[in-house]
Amino acid sequence: MKLFDIGINLTNKQFDLDREAVIHQAMLSGVERMVITGTDIDESITANQLCKGFDGLYSTAGIHPHDASQAPAEFVEDIKNLYLNNQNVVAIGECGLDFNRNYSPQDIQLSVFQQQLILASELDAPIFSHQRDAHNAFIQVLDNVAIKPNRLVVHCFTGSEAELNEYIDRGYYIGITGWICDERRGKSVLDIVPLIPNDRLLIETDSPFLIPRDLKPKPKSRRNLPEYLPHILQTIAEVKEVDTEALASQVWHNSCEFFKLSKESCL
C-alpha cells in the first residue's frame, strides 16, 4: 500500500536528532508522501527547505491561530511568495481558529484566518485548516470568503457529529489522526468516522503529537511518527468495514487531488 500523510510537524525540535531517519523509516513503512506543516513564516520557510532533500515531501505555508498575534505585517505577501515560488509548497495553512487555548486574541485570529482564506481563494490554493472550539465562527469566516468545497481540509478533526455533517455537506475534506485510537478521548470521533464519505477522507499523523495509544507493542517513546500511519488507516478501515487496501488507494487519490499534485508525482 502507498500512503499519504497530509500533516507532519517535521520542523519540531523532537526530530532534531533523527529527522532524516524518521523520514526514511516512514517511507519503508509505505508512507511515500508527506506534507510538512508550516505554522508561521519562519517554520513555513524551514518546512519548504526540508522538502528539497527528499522525494515525496511537500509543505504548507501559513500562520497557525496560536501564532496569529505574532504574524508580521507582510505575512500575506510572504505566504503568497512561498506558495507561488516553490513547487513543494502545496497548501495555505495551517490556518484557522482555536478558541480552546486562545494563545492569540480571538479578533486577531479571525482577521489572520480571513486574510489567508482570501489569499487562498485568489490563488485557488488548497487550505490546510485548524478548528478547535470555534465551529460557528469558523463557518462564518468561510462563508465570508466563499471557499470552494474541494479546496479545504478540516485537519485533525475532533469535533461533533453535527460539525462533521456540516463539513461533509459543504464538500470539505476531513483529516483523521490517531486521536481515534485513544480510548479516553477519541471514541466519539471513531464512532462517526463511518459517516465520512470515502472520497472526502484524508489521513494524517500530526506527528510528533497524537500518538495512537493502542499501538502494540507499545512504543517506548510517546513521540508520534509518520510510520504509524498504516495503523490509523487500518483502524479506519475496520470501523468503516471496508477493505484496507482499497481504502488506502482511495485516500491516496484523494490526497493527490486535494493538493493538486501532478500525475507523475502520484505514480
For 159-184, the pLDDT digits (tens) are 999 999 999 999 999 999 999 999 88
Where does the pLDDT of residue 35 fall: very low under 50, low under 70, confident under 90, or very high at 90 and above?
very high
Q: Is 135 annotated as a binding residue?
A: no
Where does the pLDDT of residue 186 fall: very low under 50, low under 70, confident under 90, or very high at 90 and above?
very high
Where does the pLDDT of residue 265 fall: very low under 50, low under 70, confident under 90, or very high at 90 and above?
confident
Q: Give how many domains the chain has, as a whole number.
A: 1
Q: Kindly report the CATH number assigned to the domain that includes residue 22.
A: 3.20.20.140
- Average pLDDT (37-58) is 96
Q: Is 133 annotated as a binding residue?
A: no
Query: Does the structure show a pLDDT above 90 at 137?
Result: yes
pLDDT of residue 146: 85
Where does the pLDDT of residue 22 fall: very low under 50, low under 70, confident under 90, or very high at 90 and above?
very high
Domain extent for 53: 3-266
- Average pLDDT (36-59) is 96
What's the pTM value of the predicted model, to 2 decimals?
Answer: 0.97
H, E, C per residue of the chain: CCEEEEEECCCCHHHCCCHHHHHHHHHHCCEEEEEECCCCHHHHHHHHHHHCCCCCEEEEECCCHHHHHHCCCCHHHHHHHHHHHCCCEEEEEEEEEECCCCCCCHHHHHHHHHHHHHHHHHHCCCEEEEEECCHHHHHHHHHHHCCCHHHEEECCCCCCHHHHHHHHHHCCEEEECHHHHCCCCCHHHHHHHHHCCHHHEEECCCCCCCCCCCCCCCCCCCCCCHHHHHHHHHHHHHHHCCCHHHHHHHHHHHHHHHCCCCCHHHC
Q: Is 64 annotated as a binding residue?
A: no
For 60-76, the pLDDT digits (tens) are 999 999 999 999 999 99
- Average pLDDT (145-170) is 96
> What's the mean pLDDT when you consider all of the chain?
97
pLDDT of residue 267: 82
Query: Does the structure show a pLDDT above 90 at 259?
Result: yes
Query: Does the structure show a pLDDT above 90 at 149?
Result: no
For 76-105, the pLDDT digits (tens) are 999 999 999 999 999 999 999 999 999 999
Q: Is 130 annotated as a binding residue?
A: yes
pLDDT of residue 109: 98
